[in-house]
Amino acid sequence: MNPLSPTFWLLLAIAALVAEFFTGSFYLLVVACALAVIGLVQLLGGPPAAALLAGSIAGLAGLALLWRVKRRRGARRAAIDDPDLGQPVEIVANRDGHGTVRYRGAEWQADFEPADLAAGTRGLIAGRDGNRLKIVSPTQGSTP
């Protein structure tokens, strides 16, 4: 089959689309769309160079869109999936904004905002950085 024919590119697009059904990653969907654009430009009579350029632009645009959607969805999922957010903790020690808190029967490393939260008082979990909890005063709510 001639790689300069529209049929070649459209068949590759279909093959990438079928492969996407088995992976579910959406990257092959972007590849399938880019290949389909190449085939369609050639089908409409465009020169091979213009078809490859259009396919490249479509692929880059698809990757940018996919990256943006995954980044936005990942941040939202991380916030929703953390059941500890907003939970009260007891401040055990605070040394210049860093210290320990008691939460669920264990002591955890913590960063405090504001830094002057006193030992023996309560705070709320506003986030985490690895295993280190981000603690705010109860009046601040769940925003750091």
**What was the pLDDT predicted at 142?**
44
| Phi, psi values for residue 9, rounded to 5° | -70, -35
b/e burial code for range 13-48 (CB count within 10 A of at least 16 → b): beebbeebeeeeeeebbbbbbbbbbbbbbbeeebee
- Whether the per-residue pLDDT at 137 is higher than 60: the answer is yes
Structure tokens at 107: 């002591």
The answer to whether residue 21 scores a pLDDT higher than 50 is yes
Alpha-carbon distances of 61 from 27, 57, 58, 144, rounded to whole Å: 12, 6, 5, 35
At residue 24 the predicted structure's pLDDT band, cuts being 50, 70 and 90, is: confident
Higher confidence at residue 32 or residue 118? 32
Mean pLDDT value across residues 126-133: 86
How long is the chain? Answer: 144
